[in-house]
């Protein structure tokens, strides 16, 4: 089953590099694939046709390493134990395409990524903040947000 | 030795006390208010579970008259702020507090409502560090989460405070 | 020999004033006791204790609640329709006093003896709905309005089976006078002759008073407070008061129509009347903590698709049997 899925993925997203199944084989295939962010919607459509659901969508701040942001999409299915991840690199300022029309759950996950990292998603129906307070102008989970360095304690009157 | 002066009329009146004792009515009202505190159903996080446990069978807040949870702020007397206050929730709490008709009181239940609790660190972005940054609090109940007996203790302390005639006005 | 207040007091106006005074006194004490009873009964059904601290068995708890409510600030929402908002508690409460004056509490005593007492009772019961709508509309609050709309739909839906089941009793008794209906049950109470009508009546009566499991209009998890969301202090107390008074009324009606009113072996009639009324109220409180709340569409379907056909069939069967006998 996994090879059929990987074939359809490669067909849908030519730039995708598939990864090996890792972990305990009895626990199913847990694989990580790297995909250019523009081809993520077609890869996601391939996952959807194979019956997978978008479980989670998150982001890593790798600007300090020169790699911009990395958006990670987790796909899984209820009846089998396989899990697949898509890693898509996004440079700062670039707007990756939104999966909100394909998967309903992507709507709020993408809003959370925007709220926490400042990454906007192109084509999202309602690109607004979801977790921070009204009128916030900061993105908290960025590495340079300004948390005190470890070892330093303070009174914390934020 | 100071010569004895005749006390003035004001001093005499002050010593005699008020001619009409309206404080009897005030005392009666305070005694009734203390015995019938209706909480607002306002649970935010984990401490809300302890609040529900206190209202449930084993600990039973209703014994003290405080078991009638009113969902509408217009009908509640005491706001038991139970749980971490996220920054997004702060204006909501303020709106609800202002909707409650006086006389009203607030109990800060749990560490997060006292000073931010375990979620406080320098330059945090998520929570309001303490309920008293938004509303005036009467009783603080520490714990993470406090036991139901601690909440009952807090309610009894609030009842003592009310019976002694101290309250926040509006 | 029927004695009513007009006989005692001579003039109708004096009789009316005296009736209102007695009824108000009774309803006040009754509501206080019922609120205590509800808290104790619901607590015991949940394996808790209920009010115990204030007064023996917590009997003074409701007094403290009432005094506290008197001392709360009365807030009027800013854009509320003030006349409707302020009139609503009175509109809900006024018909209740009128209904109470029509109940015969014992063989010889009734506040006012009318031959069409039953029709008057049912007509006044419908009037309280106006008060609910005034509360919901006048509050200028979307939750109040939704609660009021749901309450009106529910009341309209459940009035039809209520009336149909009462009609079956009227056919049996041959009279609309409440005293006559109760007198005719000195042999067999109508609950044995008309069990279906009794059941339909009790279910419809529970729905009419917005009690659980039909309490969608004031459901906390759905509508904050329903139509009484924006009322504080003693105005809210009036709604509470009206709810418990209407419970007494529907249970009183059920007692007269189905349980034989004041008939009973050893004790005087008036004592039996109140025993039966409070037993039915206990059953209503039992319902509250036994059944889950009905969803609104389930509620309406139940009334129109189940209760109304059953009540119509019951009525037809009664008429047929009476014709054949």
- C50 CA: distance to closest CA in chain B (Å): 5
Residue B49's Cβ-side half-sphere holds a number of Cα atoms within 13 Å equal to 4
* Residues sharing a CB contact under 8 Å with residue B123, sequence separation 6 or more, in sequence order: A145, A146, A147, A148, A156, A158
Q: Given an 8 Å threshold on Cβ–Cβ distance, is A147 in contact with B126?
A: no
Q: Are A139 and B106 in contact (CB under 8 A)?
A: no
For residue C193, how many other CB atoms are within 10 A of its CB?
Answer: 16
d(CA B70, CA C9): 45
Euclidean distance between CA atoms C165 and C321, whole angstroms = 16
Which chain C residues touch B56 with a CB distance below 8 Å? 46, 48
Does C144 have pLDDT greater than 80?
yes
Whether the link from the prior residue into B165 is cis, omega within 30° of 0, is: no
* CATH T-level topology, domain B38-163: Rossmann fold (3.40.50)
Task: List, for residues B42-75, the tens digit of each pLDDT value.
Answer: 889 999 999 999 998 899 899 998 888 888 888 8
**Residue whose C-alpha is closest to residue B133's, from B167, B87, B166:** B87
A132 vs B: CB within 8 A: yes
> CA of C303 to nearest chain B CA: how many angstroms apart?
28
Answer whether C305 touches B (CB < 8 Å).
Answer: no
* pLDDT per residue as tens digits for the range A77-86: 888 888 899 9
| HSE value, Cβ hemisphere, 13 Å, CA-based, for B125 | 17
The verdict on A148 touching B (C-beta cutoff 8 Å) is yes
CATH fold, domain A29-142, is Beta Polymerase; domain 2 (3.30.460)
Tens digits of per-residue pLDDT, A24-36? 878 788 889 999 9
CB contact under 8 A, B29 and C228: no
pLDDT band at B15 (very low <50, low <70, confident <90, very high): confident
Q: How far does CA A105 lie from the centroid of its chain? A: 12
Which is more confidently placed, C175 or C305?
C305
- Using one digit for the tens of pLDDT, what is the confidence trace for C64-106? 999 999 988 888 888 888 888 889 988 888 898 888 888 888 7
Q: Which residue of B has its CA nearest to A116?
A: B125
Strands A83-90 and B78-82: unpaired
Closest to A19 measured CA to CA, from A106, A9, A11: A9
Query: Which chain C residues contact residue B63 at CB under 8 A?
Result: 49-53, 58
The chain-wide mean pLDDT, for chain B, equals 87
Give the percent of chain B with pLDDT over 90: 55
pLDDT at C227: 80
| pTM reported for the whole predicted model | 0.84
Structure tokens at B147: 């036991």
User: Hey, which residues does A85 pair with through a beta bridge?
Assistant: A32, A74
**Tens digit of pLDDT for each residue in C25-74?**
999 999 999 999 999 999 999 999 889 888 888 888 888 999 999 988 88
Instruction: Give the Cα separation of C31 and C25 in Å (integer).
Output: 10
Give the residue extent of every domain in chain A: 29-142
What is the reported pLDDT for A114?
94
Tokens of C176: 């609309």
Query: What pLDDT, on a 0 to 100 scale, did the predictor assign at position C248?
Result: 92
Return the number of CB contacts < 8 Å for B and C.
96
Is residue A12 very low, low, confident or very high in pLDDT (cuts 50, 70, 90)?
A: confident
pLDDT band for position B108 (cuts 50, 70, 90) = very high
Q: Which own/partner pairs from C300-305 qualify as long-range (CB within 8 Å, at least 24 positions apart)?
A: C300/C153, C300/C154, C300/C157, C303/C154, C303/C157, C303/C158, C303/C160, C303/C161, C303/C204, C303/C207, C304/C157, C304/C160
Complete edge-to-edge strand list for the sheet that includes strand B105-109? B78-82, B105-109, B139-141
Model confidence at C160: pLDDT above 90: yes
pLDDT at A148: 57
**Integer Cα distance of C151 and C133 in angstroms:** 8
pLDDT, position B38: 92
Compute CA distances A44 → A37, A97, A155, whole Å: 11, 11, 46
Q: Do C72 and B32 touch (CB under 8 A)?
A: no
Q: Taking 80 as the threshold, does the pLDDT of residue B149 lie above it?
A: yes
Judged by a CB distance cut-off of 8 A, whether residue C43 touches chain B is: yes
- Please report where in the chains the tokens 């009508």 appear, as a residue: C197
CA distance B141 to chain A (A): 21
Given a contact cutoff of 8 angstroms between Cβ atoms, the answer to whether B107 and B158 are in contact is yes
More confident residue, C221 or C139: C139
The chain-wide mean pLDDT, for chain A, equals: 85
Q: Which of C215, C243, C253, C254 is nearest to C38 (CA)?
A: C243
The answer to whether residue C235 neighbours chain B at the CB level (below 8 Å) is no
β-bridge mates for residue B106, sequence order: B79
By the 8 A CB rule, do C300 and C154 touch? yes
Q: Tell me, what's the pLDDT at B106? A: 94
Extract the tokens encoding A26: 């009895």
Smallest CA–CA separation between C214 and chain B, in Å?
18
Mean pLDDT confidence for B12-26: 76
Among the partner-chain residues A131, A152, A158, the one whose CB lies closest to the CB of B124 is: A158
Tokens of B46: 């984990």
User: What is the pLDDT at residue A157?
Assistant: 45
B32, B68, B101 ranked by CB distance to C233: nearest: B101
Rounded distance between C-alpha atoms, residue B144 and residue C133, angstroms: 45
pLDDT of A53 > 50? The answer is yes
Interface test with B, best of C53, C56, C139, C230 (most B CBs within 10 A): C53
A157 Cβ under 8 Å from any chain B Cβ: yes
pLDDT at C224 over 80: no
H/E run at residue A154: none
pLDDT band at A147 (very low <50, low <70, confident <90, very high): low
State the DSSP code for B156: H
Please tell me the predicted confidence (pLDDT) of residue C219.
65
Average of per-residue pLDDT across C212-240: 78
User: Residue range C110-121: average pLDDT?
Assistant: 84
Say if residue B170's pLDDT is above 60: no
Confidence of residue A149 (pLDDT cuts 50, 70, 90): low
Please enumerate, as own/partner, the contacts of C305-311 that have beta carbons within 8 Å and a separation of 24 or more: C307/C158, C307/C160, C307/C161, C307/C200, C307/C203, C307/C204, C308/C160, C308/C161, C308/C164, C310/C161, C310/C196, C310/C200, C311/C160, C311/C161, C311/C164, C311/C165, C311/C168, C311/C197, C311/C200
In the predicted model, what is the mean pLDDT of residues A53-67? 91
Domain boundaries, chain B: 38-163
**Where do runs of H (alpha helix) occur along chain B?**
9-16, 23-35, 46-55, 90-99, 111-115, 148-163
Nearest chain C residue to B156 by CA distance is C53
- Using a CB-CB distance cutoff of 8 angstroms, which residues of chain A are in contact with residue B120? 156
Q: Give me the residue from A132, A145, A153 closest to B87, CB to CB.
A: A132
- Which two structure tokens, joined as six digits, stand for B47? 């401490």
- Enumerate neighbours of C (3 or more CB pairs within 8 A): B
**Span C5-17, average pLDDT:** 77
CA within 13 Å, CB half, C161: 31
Q: Output the six-digit token pair for C120.
A: 């008057």
CB contact under 8 A, C46 and B57: yes
Confidence of residue C316 (pLDDT cuts 50, 70, 90): very high
- Over residues C133-137, the mean pLDDT reads 89
Residue B124, sorted as left (phi over 0), alpha (psi -120 to 50) or beta, turns out to be beta
How many Cβ atoms sit within 10 Å of the Cβ of residue C67?
16
d(CA C25, CA C15): 15
Helices (H), A32-146: 40-49, 106-117
Give the pLDDT confidence score for residue B1 in this predicted structure. Answer: 55
Structure tokens at C121: 């009772």
Q: What is the mean pLDDT of residues A40-59?
A: 91
Residue of A nearest to B122 (CA): A156
Kindly determine whether residue C54 and residue B57, on different chains, have CB atoms separated by under 8 Å. Answer: no
pLDDT band at A152 (very low <50, low <70, confident <90, very high): very low
């Amino acid at each position: 089953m996994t090879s059929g899925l990987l074939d359809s993925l490669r067909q849908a997203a030519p730039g995708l590099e598939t990864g090996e199944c890792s972990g305990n084989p009895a626990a199913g295939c847990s694989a990580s694939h790297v995909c250019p962010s523009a081809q993520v919607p077609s890869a996601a459509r391939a996952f959807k046709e194979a019956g997978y659901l978008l479980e989670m969508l998150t982001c890593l701040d790798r600007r300090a390493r020169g790699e911009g942001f990395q958006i990670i999409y987790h796909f899984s299915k209820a009846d089998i134990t396989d899990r697949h991840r898509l890693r898509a690199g996004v440079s700062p300022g670039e707007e990756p395409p939104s999966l909100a029309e394909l998967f309903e759950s992507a709507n709020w996950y993408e809003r959370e990524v925007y709220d926490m990292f400042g990454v906007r998603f192109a084509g999202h129906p309602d690109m607004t903040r979801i977790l921070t307070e009204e009128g916030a102008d900061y993105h908290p989970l960025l590495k340079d947000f300004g948390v005190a360095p470890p070892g330093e304690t303070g009174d914390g009157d934020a | 030795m100071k010569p004895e002066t005749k006390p003035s009329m004001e001093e005499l009146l002050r010593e005699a006390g008020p001619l009409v004792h309206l404080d009897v009515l005030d005392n009666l009202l305070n005694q009734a208010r203390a015995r019938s505190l209706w909480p607002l159903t306002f649970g935010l996080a984990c401490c809300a579970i302890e609040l529900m446990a206190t209202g449930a069978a084993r600990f039973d807040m209703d014994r003290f008259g405080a078991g009638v949870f009113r969902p509408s702020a217009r009908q509640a007397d005491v706001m038991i702020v139970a749980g971490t206050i996220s920054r997004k929730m702060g204006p909501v709490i303020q709106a609800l507090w202002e909707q409650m008709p006086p006389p009203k009181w607030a109990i800060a239940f749990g560490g997060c409502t006292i000073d931010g609790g375990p979620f406080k660190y320098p330059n945090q972005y998520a929570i309001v560090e303490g309920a008293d940054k938004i509303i005036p609090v009467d009783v603080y109940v520490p714990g993470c989460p406090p036991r139901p007996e601690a909440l009952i203790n807090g309610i009894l302390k609030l009842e003592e405070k009310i019976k002694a005639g101290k309250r926040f006005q509006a | 020999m029927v004695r009513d207040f007009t006989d005692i007091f001579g003039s109708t106006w004096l009789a009316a004033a005296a009736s209102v005074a007695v009824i108000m006194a009774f309803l006040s004490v009754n509501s206080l006791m019922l609120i205590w009873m509800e808290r104790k009964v619901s607590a015991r059904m949940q394996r808790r204790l209920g009010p115990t601290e204030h007064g023996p068995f917590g009997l003074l708890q409701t007094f403290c609640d009432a005094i506290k409510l008197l001392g709360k600030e009365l807030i009027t929402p800013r854009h509320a329709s003030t006349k409707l908002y302020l009139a609503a508690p009175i509109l809900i409460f006024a018909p209740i006093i009128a209904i109470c004056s029509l109940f015969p509490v014992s063989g010889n005593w009734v506040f006012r003896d009318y031959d069409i007492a039953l029709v008057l009772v049912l007509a006044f019961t419908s009037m309280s709905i106006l008060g609910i709508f005034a509360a919901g509309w006048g509050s200028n609050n979307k939750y109040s309005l939704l609660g009021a709309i749901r309450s009106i739909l529910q009341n309209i839906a459940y009035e039809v089976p209520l009336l149909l089941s009462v009609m079956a009793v009227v056919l049996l008794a041959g009279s609309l006078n409440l005293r006559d209906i109760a007198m005719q049950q000195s042999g067999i109470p109508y609950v044995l002759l008309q069990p279906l009508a009794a059941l339909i009546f009790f279910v419809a009566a529970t729905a009419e008073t917005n009690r659980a499991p039909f309490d969608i209009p004031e459901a906390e998890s759905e509508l904050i407070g329903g139509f009484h969301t924006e009322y504080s202090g003693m105005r809210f107390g009036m709604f509470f008061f009206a709810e418990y008074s209407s419970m007494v009324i529907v249970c009183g009606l059920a007692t007269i129509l189905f349980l034989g009113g004041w008939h009973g072996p050893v004790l005087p009639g008036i004592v039996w009347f109140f025993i039966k009324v409070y037993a039915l109220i206990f059953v209503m409180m039992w319902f509250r903590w036994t059944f889950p709340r009905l969803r609104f569409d389930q509620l309406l379907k139940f009334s129109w698709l189940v209760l109304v056909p059953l009540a119509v069939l019951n009525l037809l069967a009664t008429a047929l049997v009476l014709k054949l006998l």
